[in-house]
Structure 1
């Protein structure tokens, strides 16, 4: 108890330091606990988003479970009844184990197709062959709309089974309501009479009830389900051949914790049906999504861990720095205790208890702060950009507390390191150390800076070689896992560069001192001596500031670069805000029903030449006049065109444009071409025969500006053009190489691959239409900034424009920002930047306040000697500029260097072969301006605090301090 009270008194005495240490522990625990919380939340969102995308892309509801069984192999009719009853009960019970609200449960029974004859040949043509099946669907009446007639009776009327039908059946079988048919079949014990009494339609065409594919409307007589079960399934009047089960569940309620239960229920149902029926099948699109989801989950977990590496290192360094400051203030006390017989274990135990107390408080508060941090991550729409996105489902779970406990243990161990080192020093050794503060630090003594720098440069070169191979060979890196070293290596580089520059820093101070030794005023002379002789004292705060600023700049650049390059890739690939294809009228014959194209008759030696299809160009003006459209352009693409230069003919992609409209509509990133794209378009506009060719054509054929070329494609006569320019990039065209298989001519007969460089020709659309052919083109639209996609779609519907396909760049950008990997990058990078700035501010103020507190006697003596208050403030300002200012400058240089060297490597996480335009490092001046403002604010607040403390020192206080 006495030890505990002593610890409490000591903590109260150093309350500001202890609070700073506690703050660092809380942030560390919050960051650690936020990782599993955020991972769980973003994986939950990714799961639902993947299922929603599946529903949109494949037009299938992911929460729908389908099962069917063929009953033809069952030995007896009684066996059919029993097996269906058991299957109904089993599937109904298992459907509840999916763990989701059941929106729909449907059972469908069906017979085989029977030949049917009219009961009254005078009313129905008996010569027509008619066949249909008897079907029953549970709860059918709730999902249909009666168009004509009435609902059927639930009991046979005079031995006649009344049925509902779709209009298509009446047309197909050439019947009208009330016509009676009779089933006469050797497998039917007695004739079955069927009469359609009602015509129906779907109440809701989007109803999940009809999503099981059993609604073949041309061949089904729909019998009431209860009657079908009583007379056919159980009464055995007709053999039931098929049974279908359809369960629709609200997949939006699917939780990560319930994935295993969902999969187990699916497997049990599939196993049961396969074991009890000769032929069965099950289908659920969500299960197929789960397979890809698990791979994404592993990659995302690795990425989240990797993204947090720099911040974890920074927090560890902050904790060590604050713990070292506390220990420095107590080193004399520790040395005295050691000299008076206290063992190292006793001293360390006291600090362990102190760490446990602070850690316990951090453990209680940290996870709840982590919960709030996760909310910030979820609202991130870009780096330091926040939107009102639907809130992520965040909650504290067992894993979060496990991470929090591990963070507390690691943090407490980190804070004990200075104590362990301090307990090894006696009072004599402590005084000697205080007198020799100019010696090298331990990190510099073991050349840690050189070692880490060499390792980071080696790994940098390794990544560059891998990336060059991927781009040069056209390989796909989509199957590569996210390499954690992509995030760890920059942190090592920043640390090593900071240590290396700090190794040189004392020599720079000495050089400054020597250069102005004869001219420095006394207060600057004192400052240079103070900084030059105590470099080890300043290294902690300087290295801390260097790492903070460099990490902040790197995080900002990495996040901005990834967001900008993904956005540029989508914009470049599409070429404009909206790319659509319209319906063109043509004289093409209808598709043949045979297995192949028509062939010439035997003995006919003439080769049948297919007729070229003639197209009629639809009006283009309605697209340009759509509300919200800023400009519109016609863009003709021909993938399989050719270009002939001299004797060489090359396959190439041909693009026909109208130069003025194209220039106002297309999107192109600056600096991709030797000149602005508008200059190339102006060059084209001077001559109708002018074309631009890609550099790949020029390199392979030797073509130059001014050469005459011939362009065209199959089934058209070519046209002569003149080369007016050579380009490397063009909107929507990918110039990166593509691997094509080729058979080796060597004796090994193994298949190899060669790199095929894509080729492009850009010319005038009007010239191609007049001299070659009129064929369908795309319509590119550029929208005004305030126009929404929904408004454009509604305008198209109102004008009844016939659209074959449409690509919306804005919607693709929204989808990319909602991608879980993008959310992770933006969220974690934003959080890392904010944490770096926050702890930098706290660490900076804390260090300088404590530094000044330890030098009050020095400043008091200087004031007593006649040094003015303004000169002391100038001395402190110079000291801060030489230390904090230098650290800020080093941090900026190191952060920008790390960004330029390592950020381009992030494209290894994507597909370099499809990354067009090329990956480009982006710096947002606003990010750096924010950082500079924060640094200026830190230094300003520091000077104000220091000045305030100094202004309170009077001459009589200095004399009293001198007497002490």
Structure 2
């Protein structure tokens, strides 16, 4: 009882140890229930319901009854505890419907069909709009007469009234007498949205709208289908559904795993017992998806709890040491009078057991109460609905509380056991010469711990995650890796403790020249008893380190969500169209007009690939074609995405200015036909090769059209053949119409293509002369257009180049000018070689721009290809090969997922339009299919409102704000961390303050004689206050400063290994640690208030001490 106040502080630690340990289980169960409820509520209730379908089944009595019994039994046994109700539905095979006495028209594919159907409990779920409920049909010697009901909407659609009769002919027995049915009632569902109908009441039950022929869905009693109809048609078959309507409120964390196993087992059992049976439900997938998400969400939580519990245990060790140190004289006295170690330990064991008993009882209750109140905080409002959280005290919570108090008991008994080894002599010696180092520092045990921690830290860095794969693919958490952050923190702390005495000696040496006795005296005491102060510094250090992580967690998580949303969107708003068909400038104008916005930049997303036949390397990539100068103004970017800024990377995509090529191939406006004189190779004239000649033209918007040229008339005497084609009848693309005849056009290519290559390696020559246009085709006896407009006579071919990019092989063609033209003029001569393995398209086109373009690529692309920055290579883009130069690389790029299978190539959109659209037939225009917008404010986000003029395709709308809202709609991640983080750090803060107060006052009692003598020697109150303040501030600043610097890498370490999403993949982009300095200052301010109050109280206590009062306290 003499130490009841000190024991009270020990009890606080024991209770908190039990509370924190049990809170892991209590909090996990509460989060699982809340999160599971949230996940289930996010699904369509019909998707969670269980649908059992047995198709192609008979209706005969015993088989039918067995099927009903097996299905019901499996459903009740497997998931009966979570079902609200079950519903059975059956539907027969098809009958051909015809008027009474009239056979069906089997030649008509649109002839009416019909089927019988029943619902168990139908009468309670419908209203009779007209007529009455159908009676059960009686078996007959021939075809039975059956009363049926029809949906009221279907009756209107099919023009059926009550009293109408029809003949139903079974499709599998058309020679049989038809079943005569009479409509006796028109019915409608009371509530089409009732779970009873499973969401298909108005789709396929009461009215059938998904067929191209009239379908009469007749309702009959179940007994009619299994009785009279089966008696007449024993081979009648159909499909049967059994619906299990799930009550999601009955699914919780304790039965979720069993439900998943039951549904899977039920599915396997039904398939084994009933042929052609399937079970459909999203319930197991929803639960498993949530469990996986929860696994990765809670994993860092356990790593944090190891640190928190470790700090609590250290607090207990520290306070226990203080308790034992006060009683070490009594222990030595007991030992000198014959008490054994066991007897002394029994005393402390009884004390500890009583404290632990209180901890086991109070700890879980305290944890449960605190966790329940978290439901009132904003972080949990999305999960708890603003009310308290229901908690469950499971057996695991109690067991963890027991583990917590057992650890606490060990922390209490270890100092007592060490004290039992002291004799009276040892005790007196320790008073005269306090120990300089603890045993684990004297024997270098700290170095061993540092080695172990360093090894585990290396393992964690190598593995990159706290998660390990089991033998059969399951995921688990490695317990050793979970304690790695704690060991890392302890490693730094131990290094500090080993260096702390050295730091004190240096400080004492540096303070020798100071005037006054206050600071030197304080340094001397610190140097003389470093172990005494190391304990408190270590507590402050550990608490501050964890506090740094706690202070930055919320800001880090919020920033990560912002970054992920911005990265996935790429820009404040992004519109993705299924296909691109407009040139960039026209596309931008259309988007800006449709969205009523400005500053839109076009982007083309397509595929690209790299292949090296020599090394059998193939790399598939996405390609993003952007406009430098615009893209970087809108796109989201972070400095850690690449070694260069986005502005610099975009600048590398801008081609260097080159000397412009001669302008050739201008086609004037107003002409309807285009043609040329040519001496074609055999590849064109021989029908066996299926060759054709064509030209490709473009307009000022870079829109492309291809026109086939056909021979007109007979060759002239020189063997020259005239070829012509109509400019209003493009071969490709047909969906773009024809060029505007009032606009000037640009020749893009003259080419010919064949689909059947000759065998072997053959050499061919093609001559072209006098490319021209005309207003009408020439007559049969005319040579060329009557009044042609000459486009090019090919007197100079320097402005042309052969078409390349058809294959990776060097283009085997040479273009030159020869004096072999028609009428002694110049002509263009194309010489080329053809092999059965080579390209089958040849031609020439006007020169334009560079022959290679700069691209920037992902780091993975460089690794897979073995290329380096500055290398030139070929990429397959837009169905042709393009020469590229690798101008830079990046690790991350907006909208690109590095975890996916595809690498990324980024190119200049304007350059792509030229270089990647040079091969006719194969490479169409590289048009933008995405619009990146600088803002989504004021924009109608309805995709149907964003359809571009002349298109029928609605875009996919992605906004940064929308993605951020979606991420915030599931508060599981933030809540599951934030709640326990708050409780844990509050506990650490409380223990730190309490430990500081207790430690300080116990120190005051032990040094009362020393300060009384100082007062007698003439120390003033100010000097006493200064001495106490200096010692305490030195301890506080040292612990807080080192803890702050330790907290930075610790926070980074924790963030690194919590940086996985709900699927266990790396967060893209990586999480960047943030520090909320306002929170840090708040925490420091709270600690400062406690520390200042304690220092003032100590100074007042010390200043009032005198020698005679101190001596009356006894020998201390």
Task: Judge same fold: TM > 0.5, yes or no.
Answer: yes
1:732 aligned partner: 894
For 1:842-882, what per-residue CA distance to the aligned partner results, in whole angstroms no more than 9, with x for missing partners? 11121112211222222222112211000011111111133
Alpha carbons of structure 1 residues 386 and 397: separation in structure 2 relative to 1, 3 Å: closer
* 1:134 and 1:222 in contact (8 A); partners too: yes
2:483 aligned counterpart, secondary structure: helix
1:891 aligned partner: 1043
* 1:154 and 1:227 in contact (8 A); partners too: no
Displacement after TM superposition at 1:638 (Å): 1.7
Q: Does 1:312 align with 2:312?
A: no
Alpha carbons of structure 1 residues 638 and 844: separation in structure 2 relative to 1, 3 Å: same
Aligned positions of 1:13-92 closer than 5 A: 13-52=2-41, 55=43, 61-70=46-55, 72=57, 77-80=60-63, 82-83=65-66, 86-87=69-70, 90=73
Aligned positions of 1:193-232 closer than 5 A: 193-196=180-183, 207-211=194-198, 215=204, 217=208, 218=211, 219=215, 221-225=217-221, 228=224, 231-232=227-228
Q: Does 1:134 align with 2:116?
A: yes
1:99 aligned counterpart, secondary structure: helix
Aligned positions of 1:66-215 closer than 5 A: 66-70=51-55, 72=57, 77-80=60-63, 82-83=65-66, 86-87=69-70, 90=73, 93-94=76-77, 98-100=80-82, 102=84, 104-121=85-102, 128=108, 129-140=111-122, 153-154=134-135, 159-165=145-151, 179-184=164-169, 191-196=178-183, 207-211=194-198, 215=204
* 1:163 and 1:198 in contact (8 A); partners too: yes
1:287 aligned counterpart, secondary structure: helix
Larger-gyration structure (1/2): 2
2:909 aligned partner: 763
* 2:131 and 2:185 in contact (8 A); partners too: yes
Please point out which of 948, 956, 960 is paired with 1:805: 956
* 2:10 and 2:316 in contact (8 A); partners too: yes
Alpha carbons of structure 1 residues 155 and 78: separation in structure 2 relative to 1, 3 Å: closer
Bigger Cα displacement from structure 2, 930-939 vs 328-337: 930-939
2:204 aligned counterpart, secondary structure: coil
Displacement after TM superposition at 1:451 (Å): 1.6
Displacement after TM superposition at 1:305 (Å): 3.1
After superposition, the CA RMSD in angstroms is 4.9
2:1004 aligned partner: 852
2:304 aligned counterpart, secondary structure: helix
Please point out which of 483, 488, 491 is paired with 2:483: 488
Q: Distance in 2 between matches of 1:665 and 1:306?
A: 39
Alpha carbons of structure 1 residues 163 and 200: separation in structure 2 relative to 1, 3 Å: closer
Please point out which of 427, 430, 436 is paired with 1:433: 430
Displacement after TM superposition at 1:220 (Å): 5.1
Q: Does 1:693 align with 2:675?
A: no
For 1:551-580, what per-residue CA distance to the aligned partner results, in whole angstroms no more than 9, with x for missing partners? 332455577656644653443233134444
Q: Distance in 2 between matches of 1:775 and 1:145?
A: 57
1:341 aligned counterpart, secondary structure: coil
Q: Distance in 2 between matches of 1:314 and 1:383?
A: 27
Q: Distance in 1 between matches of 2:383 and 2:256?
A: 31
Aligned positions of 1:608-623 closer than 5 A: 619-621=590-592
2:993 aligned partner: 841
Q: TM-score, normalised by structure 2?
A: 0.68
* 1:152 and 1:164 in contact (8 A); partners too: no
2:499 aligned partner: 504
Bigger Cα displacement from structure 2, 106-115 vs 233-242: 233-242
Q: Does 1:552 align with 2:547?
A: yes
Displacement after TM superposition at 1:371 (Å): 1.3
Alpha carbons of structure 1 residues 190 and 80: separation in structure 2 relative to 1, 3 Å: farther
2:636 aligned partner: 667
1:933 aligned partner: 1085
Displacement after TM superposition at 1:449 (Å): 2.0
Q: Does 1:942 align with 2:928?
A: no
For 1:75-107, what per-residue CA distance to the aligned partner results, in whole angstroms no more than 9, with x for missing partners? xx3324543563576467548x532251x5321
* 1:109 and 1:243 in contact (8 A); partners too: yes
Displacement after TM superposition at 1:303 (Å): 4.7
2:878 aligned partner: 714
Q: Distance in 1 between matches of 2:1098 and 2:876?
A: 79
* 1:467 and 1:908 in contact (8 A); partners too: no
For 1:709-751, what per-residue CA distance to the aligned partner results, in whole angstroms no more than 9, with x for missing partners? 9999436898x9999x745266425485977xxxxxxxxxxxx
Aligned length: 878
1:509 aligned counterpart, secondary structure: helix
Alpha carbons of structure 1 residues 117 and 108: separation in structure 2 relative to 1, 3 Å: same
* 2:137 and 2:228 in contact (8 A); partners too: no
Alpha carbons of structure 1 residues 267 and 664: separation in structure 2 relative to 1, 3 Å: closer
* 2:622 and 2:903 in contact (8 A); partners too: no
Q: TM-score, normalised by structure 1?
A: 0.77
Q: Distance in 1 between matches of 2:405 and 2:868?
A: 67
* 1:657 and 1:765 in contact (8 A); partners too: no
For 1:337-366, what per-residue CA distance to the aligned partner results, in whole angstroms no more than 9, with x for missing partners? 333333333332222222222222222321
Displacement after TM superposition at 1:320 (Å): 0.9
Please point out which of 337, 354, 366 is paired with 1:369: 366
Q: Distance in 2 between matches of 1:812 and 1:680?
A: 27
Please point out which of 344, 350, 353 is paired with 1:353: 350
* 2:136 and 2:224 in contact (8 A); partners too: no
Q: Distance in 2 between matches of 1:437 and 1:770?
A: 82
For 1:629-651, what per-residue CA distance to the aligned partner results, in whole angstroms no more than 9, with x for missing partners? x976543312238999xxx9997
Alpha carbons of structure 1 residues 710 and 287: separation in structure 2 relative to 1, 3 Å: closer
Q: Distance in 2 between matches of 1:89 and 1:903?
A: 50
* 1:668 and 1:730 in contact (8 A); partners too: no
2:771 aligned partner: none
1:620 aligned counterpart, secondary structure: helix
For 1:92-145, what per-residue CA distance to the aligned partner results, in whole angstroms no more than 9, with x for missing partners? 7548x532251x5321122222344420549x9797554432111234466678
Q: Distance in 2 between matches of 1:268 and 1:727?
A: 51
Displacement after TM superposition at 1:424 (Å): 2.6
Q: Distance in 2 between matches of 1:622 and 1:206?
A: 41
2:254 aligned counterpart, secondary structure: helix
1:215 aligned counterpart, secondary structure: helix
Alpha carbons of structure 1 residues 357 and 531: separation in structure 2 relative to 1, 3 Å: same
Q: Distance in 2 between matches of 1:502 and 1:264?
A: 53
2:1013 aligned partner: 861
Q: Distance in 2 between matches of 1:174 and 1:292?
A: 49
Please point out which of 420, 426, 436 is paired with 2:417: 420
For 1:169-212, what per-residue CA distance to the aligned partner results, in whole angstroms no more than 9, with x for missing partners? 997x9978865322355599975212456777777665544448
Displacement after TM superposition at 1:36 (Å): 0.9
Q: Distance in 2 between matches of 1:265 and 1:34?
A: 30
Displacement after TM superposition at 1:422 (Å): 1.6
* 2:162 and 2:185 in contact (8 A); partners too: yes
Please point out which of 251, 262, 267 is paired with 1:254: 251
1:746 aligned partner: none
* 1:816 and 1:822 in contact (8 A); partners too: no
Unpaired runs of 5+ in structure 2? 139-143, 468-472, 658-848, 918-923
2:461 aligned counterpart, secondary structure: helix
Displacement after TM superposition at 1:64 (Å): 0.8
Q: Distance in 1 between matches of 2:423 and 2:382?
A: 53
2:641 aligned counterpart, secondary structure: coil
1:522 aligned partner: 517
For 1:349-408, what per-residue CA distance to the aligned partner results, in whole angstroms no more than 9, with x for missing partners? 222222222222222321122113434666788899999767654222332222222322
Q: Distance in 2 between matches of 1:959 and 1:324?
A: 25
Which structure features the higher share of helix residues?
1
